[in-house]
Structure formats: structure tokens, C-alpha cells
Chains A and B, each alone.
Chain A
Amino acid sequence: MAYFMVVLLDDNRMGKLRGTGLEEHIKYMFGGELRLLEVEVTEELKDKILAEFETARVDSRGAITDVPVAFMRELFNQVVEKKSLGPEVVEGVLAKINEIKEMAAKESEYLPPPDIE
């Protein structure tokens, strides 16, 4: 099975992506209502993510999900920094694992809810 991680794109993130050359890789889902990028994850990196984060799981599509929000934010930063969707993106994230775990510890207590009624 091929593994990957999904980076969701809102307008703010779309602005940061401009000029990276990755725009052509943007995928549209659900009738165009959702824009995203898929980052490649090797078997070895998948095992490392699952070992490092208790909540992480692999869904039926092969997508690695349920990692901390801090991980997902850094994943996007690395995509922009490396201008790539290859395994080096996740390697870049895992290089900052201690920092991410520190932030994840805080976010496991509280995540600000969206402001909707």
C-alpha cells in the first residue's frame, strides 16, 4: 500500500503556495469543495509516525491521519520550504519532533473551537 498525508488548503495557505511550482499538484475533492495536496510517505516513515504518536492511524485509503495539529502545520511549512511533496517533507517534519511534541502536549489539552453558533 502506498502511504501519504493530506495537506488541506484554505485561501491563506493557497497564497503561501504561490510560486512553489506545486499549484499544478493541487487536487480537488468532493465536487471541488475541498483543495488539497498529498505528501508521499515511505513505509519506514509511516512506522516512525505511528510509533511516535499514539493517536496516529492509517485509514482505508493509506492516508496517515490523527497526528497532532502541530504536525500538520509543520507539514505545510515543510511543503512550502522544500517546494516538494516527496518523503523529504515528512523527514523535515520529523527532524523537529521534539518541538512538535511540546506543542502537541499543549494542544492535547485545548484546541480553540471555530466561532460558529
Chain B
Amino acid sequence: MSGLLIERPLPHGGRLVERVIEDKRVARKIWKSCNAVYEIKPTLHYETGVPVRNVYREIMSICYGFFSPVEGSMKQAEVERVLKERRLLNEWIFPYPLVFDISKDDLNKLGVEVGDRLGLTLKGKPFAILDIEEIYEIDPEELAYKTFGDPETNPEVVQQKFDKKHPGWVIYRSHQPYVLAGKYTIINPPKFKPPFDRFWFPPRKSREEFEKRGWRTVINHQTRNVPHVGHEFLMKCAAFTGDVEPCPGILVNAVIGVKRRGDYPDEAIVEAHEAVNKYGYIKPERHLVSIVLWDMRYGNPLESLLHGIIRQNMGCTHHMFGRDHAAVGEYYDKFATQILWTKGIPSFGFPAPPTDVPYGLKIRPQNMREFSYCPTCKEMAYSETCGHKREKLSGSFLRGMVAEGVQPPSIIMRPEVYRVVVKWWKQFGYPFCNEKYVINKEKELEVDLEDL
């Protein structure tokens, strides 16, 4: 019997990266040893100047272990290996280049060189340090193309050449041309503002929380959306997986960062998911809402790999993946994520699924199709089970309904979830992310910092 039980996987890379100094005395001493100080700036769209990313989110996710075993801004050889084989220099798989990029002007002003320690401030307060091990130049456009693949090099899954309509491509295209590579250390942990503070479960804390709740197996639900009833049913049914018994835990992990116009505000997303357990649609003993900081790259199979890494690091044993996972447009095959996790994508460095390659992942994929309303069954029905003609449910359709001021029927959006959407609509004057929301959010961020 014990041989049938799935154990909580070790963090990716074997140990959790934790590069956060809580002791202010030690932090002040480290801060004084910095050779230069740099205020973190948002990455601005290379054409429009609107914020598309803030590297502080990557620093947070690296230092709190969400991206273990990554410890900092990648060196040139590591970026090249990630782009070619989706592996770090220490062999562990990883999908995306992560770098600390700055402009030539800023590099000249700072006057830093290899071996220097750069102090990083956020909102004018000391935040982190970067111990510089290498300085190199990148071509942002080339980086953008290589990051996501193209139809010639990756014919298994890439259907269309990437361009400026793809928000992830824009993020890399908007990088500054110089990279400071080296390890980050947070020396002044930021404080999350409400409502985000109650959803902050970095890997060590989430693993402790799972232990406390007796969640031996946990399935993750990735989200960047307010939940409709289809999502709720996906979670309820996905949790029937597990080992000899269903997963006792369902972790909702919301990606918090720059969103696309038309997505719901982050505040509404986390509170709407919370409403699912608060009002008993899934009992709170079985359902936990959490966040990770990341400006989504929308890289479908590559993003799913990052999601697998993040959630394994958080202690999950299973991960739900749906069609068009973390996708935008028709750049990738709709089932690119399923292709990766069931047979691999050789051109991306995976001759086998990421769970079957050396230095791969332990988290198990749970491929899911979709729930939609069946007028014959008169209930939400699973696409692979129900034999009737069903009414497909899409987030976009719901958004249209919300924007036109029509309250969605409770069979597709719970009234408590809708009330959360309206609560934040009243706050921001708009139900979705618009330019004003993004600009303001990127100015204010999700966090505040105290003096050191």
C-alpha cells in the first residue's frame, strides 16, 4: 500500500532556493557594501512606452524559491543553453531566459564591473542586491524570437511566426540591451498590500501549509482569470486524481503581474477565487488560493513547464493543464502543452515528457478538457463524458456579458464571484485591465517597502 502513495516531490533542483535576509542588522551591513545603487524600473513596451514587465517580480520569485533552482540573472552561456535546450548550466530543465537588463546609459552611469555588488532599490527603498558575475550585451529582438520558437525550428507545435501582437514576445523585445548577470539576494522583504497579503504562500510556507492541512497530495489550478463555474468543476473533478485516494488539496495559484487589456484585475481574480471556498462551492478545508509574481509570457508549452516548476517547488504533486494553456492567439498548437507533457517536443530539447528526462520534473500532469453546460443533463458536463450537444463556456464570452452590464446566469458564474467583480469594477471604474489600471498598478505595485 505505501508503495502506491505519491510523495510530495522535492523542489526542482533538489533544494529550495531561498535568498531572503530577514535580519535588518545583517541587511544594513550588506547594503553598505554595495558599490552602486540602481532604482528598479518597469520594462516599457518598445513602441508604446506602456509597462509590460517589472523585473522585481522575477527577483521575488527567484529569491523566494518559486523558480528554484534559478538563483539570479542568467549568464550568457546559460541564456544560450536555455534557448537551445531549455536547460540551465546545472542541467535542470528551465523554459525561459531570466535576466537583469539595463540600458547603455544606465550601465555607463553606474560604472559597475564584474565583481561589484549592485544595490537595487524599489519604490525608492533598499530592496535587493545583485552580485555581478558577468556583463554582456543582448539583441532583444533576437532574444524574443529565440525564446518562443518558430515554425521552421519547432514545427511540432509552433504554427505562426511570433510578432508584436504576442505579449510575451513584446516583453523580451522590450528588454534593454545590457545584462548584469549574477545572484540576487533580497535584503528588505517587501510587504504585500491587501488583498494580496493573505494569498502570499511562497514555497516554504505553502509546503508547511500543506503539512498543517494534512494535504499529502495537492493538485494545482493555474489561473489568470476570475473563475466561472466551468473552472470550478474542473477543480472539483481534477481533484479526483491522486493516488489511492483523491487529492485532498486543491491549490489555486494566480499569476500576478502585468496583464493583457481585457483580463480581470489581479485583485478581482484572487478574491473571486477565494469566494469559491468562502461561499462553500468548494469547502475551504480543501481549497487554498495563492499567488506568484510573474509577468506572463503566454508561451503555452514553455509556460506550462514554468508552471510545473513553480507548483512543484510549492509542493504540489499534480498540475492541471487544459487546452490552449497559457496561450494567446494561434501561435502554438492548441494542444502544445499536452504534446509536451505526454510525448515531449524534441526541438525544444524534450525527446520525452519533462517528467521522463534527466533533471526533469516530478510533478504529474493532469490533462483536462473542458466543462460546459448541457441543456439535456441540465448541469455542467465534462466534454469527454457527456454525449449531448453542449453550450460551450468561454471566459471571453463571459467578459462580453459583464462589459455589457448583464449579470451572468448563476449556472455559469456564481453570484458571489460576480459581486467581487463588481466590487473591484467600482474601485477602478472599469471591470477589466485597461491602460489606466496597468500604468497605475505598475507605479504602485502589489507591495510596499519599509525603511531598512
Interface residues of A (CB under 8 A from B): 6, 8, 10, 29-31, 33-34, 54-55, 57, 59-61, 63, 65-67, 69, 72, 108-114, 116-117
Contacts and interface: CB of A to CB of B under 8 A. Distances in A.
B434 interface: yes
A85 to B, nearest CB: 17
A51 B391 CA distance: 28
22 contacts: A6-B397, A8-B401, A29-B375, A30-B412, A33-B409, A33-B411, A34-B409, A57-B328, A59-B392, A60-B324, A65-B396, A72-B403, A108-B261, A108-B434, A109-B436, A110-B429, A111-B403, A111-B425, A113-B426, A113-B429, A113-B431, A117-B419
A59 B425 contact: no
Contacts, number: 91
Determine which residue in A10, A108, A113, A117 has the highest number of CB atoms from chain B within 10 A of its CB, and name it: A113
Contact of B430 (A54, A55, A59, A111): A111
Nearest to B262: A55
A30 B429 CA distance: 29
Closest 7 CB pairs of A and B: A65-B396, A33-B409, A59-B394, A55-B262, A113-B425, A59-B396, A61-B392
Contacts of A67: 400
A1 to B, nearest CB: 10
A110 B436 CA distance: 10
Contacts of A109: 429-430, 434, 436
B39 interface: no
Contact of B373 (A31, A60, A63, A110): A31
Interface in B382-423: 391-392, 394-397, 399-401, 403-407, 409, 411-412, 419, 422
Given A29-B373, A55-B261, A108-B434, A65 B397 contact: yes
Contacts of A10: 406
Given A59-B396, A66-B396, A31 B403 contact: no
A59 B429 contact: no
B240 to A, nearest CB: 24
A61 B422 contact: no
Contacts of A113: 422, 425-426, 429, 431
Chain B interface main SS type:
loop
A60 B431 contact: no
B373 A30 contact: yes
Nearest to A27: B391
B425 A60 contact: no
B400 A108 contact: no
A60 B323 contact: yes
B378 interface: yes
Interface residues of B, number: 38
B371 to A, nearest CB: 12
Interface in B225-257: none
A78 to B, nearest CB: 16
A67 B435 CA distance: 15
Contacts of A6: 397, 400
Contacts of B391: 29-30
Nearest to B412: A30
Nearest to A28: B375
Contacts of B436: 109
Given A61-B394, A108-B261, 5 more contacts: A66-B262, A72-B400, A110-B430, A116-B407, A117-B419
Nearest to A63: B397
Contacts of A63: 394, 396-397
Given A31-B373, A108-B435, A114-B422, A54 B261 contact: yes
Contacts of B434: 108-109
Given A30-B373, A116-B419, A60 B406 contact: no
Contact of A69 (B324, B378, B404, B407): B404
Nearest to B330: A58
Given A29-B373, A65-B394, A114 B407 contact: yes
A64 to B, nearest CB: 9
A63 B399 CA distance: 12
Contact of A111 (B260, B328, B429): B429
Nearest to B419: A116
Interface in B78-121: none
A52 to B, nearest CB: 13
